[in-house]
Structure 1
Amino acid sequence: MSQPEIDFKHSGLRWLWLAAVVFIADIAIKWLVMDNMGYGWNHRIELLPFFNLLYVHNYGAAFSFLSEQSGWQRWFFSGIAFVVTGMLAYWMRKLPAQEKWNNVAYALIIGGALGNVFDRIVHGYVIDYLDFFVGNYHWPAFNLADSAICIGAVMIILDGLRGKSSAKA
């Protein structure tokens, strides 16, 4: 039995260009941060009353989850990223290219996941550089890849809510 041919032009895989843009932009910004900033909170650049640029390492996942572990989390999170990327690419292959909302959401997540997994494999940690705060409360530092993943996830949730409300009508 022969494998069906992949149709990049008409399937959601056409949107993988967006994943590549997110990945390249994320890696480029991280290289700029590493090459031009001192490491740590003492070297932060204060830009706005609620926003700093800085250069820190995250050995864990979101909000430094499991960052204090012995190193196994590096490969665990990398494995999860590859599984999720494969799953989303499979779903994109099944979606028509005209299904922009979900394809964009999936591409953002793929680009962000691959940006962070690149860091984990190459450096052993993820490079974070965005620091938002209110008064003395700082959100955990994050990066473009994290932002793309979050935006893509919110888009998927909104699509699910939109789908449920459409089904009721």
Structure 2
Amino acid sequence: MTARVQPPTLWWGIAAVLALIDQSLKLGVEHLYELGSSVAVGSFFNIVHARNTGAAFSFLADAGGWQRYLFVVVALAVALTLVAILQRERHWSEALGYCLVLGGAVGNLIDRSLRGFVVDYLDFHYQGWHWPAFNLADICIVSGASFLLVISVISPASPSKR
């Protein structure tokens, strides 16, 4: 039995909604919390207002400003590639993975383009150890990439045939 294939507009739409939700949350954090603030939500989680001029784990954050343009170009190239990939017929599981990465890439691309940095607001910690702050766009990128990795291991033969 084959799974019904969805049109690319569905996946592009889901990615756009994810990017919009991400931007809404970032806007809310910027308006509700001062930069650098931290609000404890539980024993292991805070909502913070942080800015990241670098990439994951603040990679190149102190590079002097040129990295903003590099990350914008990379995110734009990734987003355009994923839009093209999703234009071709794909199994829903593969399309979902690409869609999640696309939504996250666009969410962070908007930040870098308009703000010059990415707004991060999720802070998990344990006994004084903090995971670097992140956001919904980051969750989408990591979830989508992980999903694609898992389905490629489960069914390594020609992903576009699934």
Alignment TM-score > 0.5, same fold: yes
Paired residues for 1:6-85 under 5 Å: 11-40=7-36, 43-85=37-79
Question: Structure 2 CA distance, aligned partners of 1:110 and 1:165?
Answer: 23
Q: Say which is worse superposed, 19-28 or 86-95, in terms of deviation.
A: 86-95
Q: Deviations over 1:4-49 (max 9, x none)?
A: xxxxx95434311110111110000001000010111xx2110011
Identity across aligned pairs (percent)? 36
Count of residue pairs the alignment pairs up: 154
Gaps of 5+ in 2: none
What amino acid is the match of 2:106? L
Question: Structure 1 CA distance, aligned partners of 2:17 and 2:57?
Answer: 24
Gaps of 5+ in 1: 1-8
TM-score (norm 1): 0.86
Instruction: Please tell me whether the aligned partners of residues 100 and 141 of structure 2 are also in contact (alpha carbons under 8 angstroms).
Output: yes
Query: Of the two, which has the highest radius of gyration?
Result: 1
What amino acid is the match of 1:120? R
SS of the residue corresponding to residue 45 of structure 1 reads: strand
SS of the residue corresponding to residue 48 of structure 1 reads: coil
List structure 1 segments (4+ residues) > 4 angstroms apart after TM superposition: none
Question: Structure 2 CA distance, aligned partners of 1:110 and 1:147?
Answer: 12
**Cα offset for 1:53?**
0.1
TM-score (norm 2): 0.90
